[in-house]
Structures are given as structure tokens and as C-alpha cells.
Amino acid sequence: MPRGRYSLHDPHDHTPLGEEHFQCAPGPSGWRYVSRLTGPAGDHRGSVDLALDDLGRPIRLELHAGDWQVRGAALDGVTWVRTDPTGTHATEGNVRAHAFTGTSPAFLVATARLLRLTPSSDATRVRLVAFTDPVLAPRTVDQSWALVNSEAHATDNGPLTVDEYQVTALDTGERHTVHIAGDVVLAAPGIELEDLQSPPSTFH
């Protein structure tokens, strides 16, 4: 069960946004990721709890940021309920999308798991509902994912396969690279893996 720590920063001006302390593991039904987020001063900022089924679809998502909360799942596309800080005005949403995304590295692993690309695959278009900080506002985004390289690296625990994805935002054309090993993000815009206490899990 990998556990560790990511540092998060603004991908454009590199302003530190805090850290995400996580643990994740494959299970009988798929994969689960839980984390807690802290600000640059160490203050509690929120949490992520994401569970995927064997096909990579989100069967449960629970996000907290400040006093805001989102619960969602794959249902008629994706469906969610977002609750405001007072708890009096819950709003429901539904979009014909494939999955969710956001600032957490968990969503990059989840999207890669959902798409199951190979280096010979064409770039694949995916529609996602992004929950943007700090109030978890939902926004539908279209991306293109391509697996451009998959390379095995020797480690003390045997070979570790690192997948390099090219991700393109279809609304702006902005393109960036994501490196994933198993269920751990090694590097991505705004994300750095600072500490990993056990090797990444391998998806079969």
C-alpha cells in the first residue's frame, strides 16, 4: 500500500499551495485513494477519498475543501452533490462525462486507469468534470491523452515501469507531460512526489 507525500504548487508561477499526504491501494473492487491536504503553513485544507471499480470508473468520490463538500459517482455519466458551507443549499449536478478531475494527483492516476492506453494507441479524447479549488466549483473539461513512452527502470524492488503521458486541454491547446508509475504520480505540472514509503502498486 503506497503512502507518501506530494507537494503542490501553482503550475504557472510556482507559488506553493501546500502538501497532500496520501495512501492508496488496489482492492477487490478496484482502487482506493485517500489523502489529507495541508496549506503552506501546515494548516488543514481538505481531503480526498476516491474509489474506482475494476474498469477505472469512479464508484465513490468525496472531496472536502474548507467547509465545502462534494460527493459523486459514475451514474448516467457522472453525478454529484455539492454542499455549501452552511449546509443549507446542496446543489446536484449531472454531466455526460467519463469521470472526475481536480488538483489531486489521484485524478491523474484515475484517468490513466480509465483509458488504459498503450504506446501504440491513438490519442484518446476524454470528458471530465473538474472541481476547482477553493470552493469545489464544477467545470466540464475536454482533454486528449496519449501514452508516448513506457519504460522499465531497475530498482531495489525489481523493475518499475514509468508511463509518460501527453495531456492536451482541448479548449486552450495547452499541452503538458505526466509521469505515472503504477498508482503513483512521479511528476506533473504543479505536482512533485516528495516522499514515498513503499513502492507503487501495479495494476493487472
Contacts of 25 (CB under 8 A, 6+ apart): 1, 2, 31, 32, 183, 201
Environment class of residue 145 by beta-carbon count within 10 Å: exposed (0-12), middle (13-18) or buried (19+)? buried
Environment class of residue 33 by beta-carbon count within 10 Å: exposed (0-12), middle (13-18) or buried (19+)? buried
Among 146, 128, 136, CA closest to 74: 128
Q: Residue 6: pLDDT above 80?
A: yes
Confidence of residue 204 (pLDDT cuts 50, 70, 90): low
pLDDT at residue 121 in the model: 87
Over residues 68-112, the pLDDT tens digits come to: 999 999 999 999 999 988 878 899 999 999 999 999 999 999 999
Which pTM was predicted? Answer: 0.95
Which H or E element spans position 109? helix 105-115
Over residues 112-148, the pLDDT tens digits come to: 999 999 988 899 999 999 999 889 999 999 999 999 9
What is the DSSP pairing of strand 99-101 with strand 124-132?
parallel
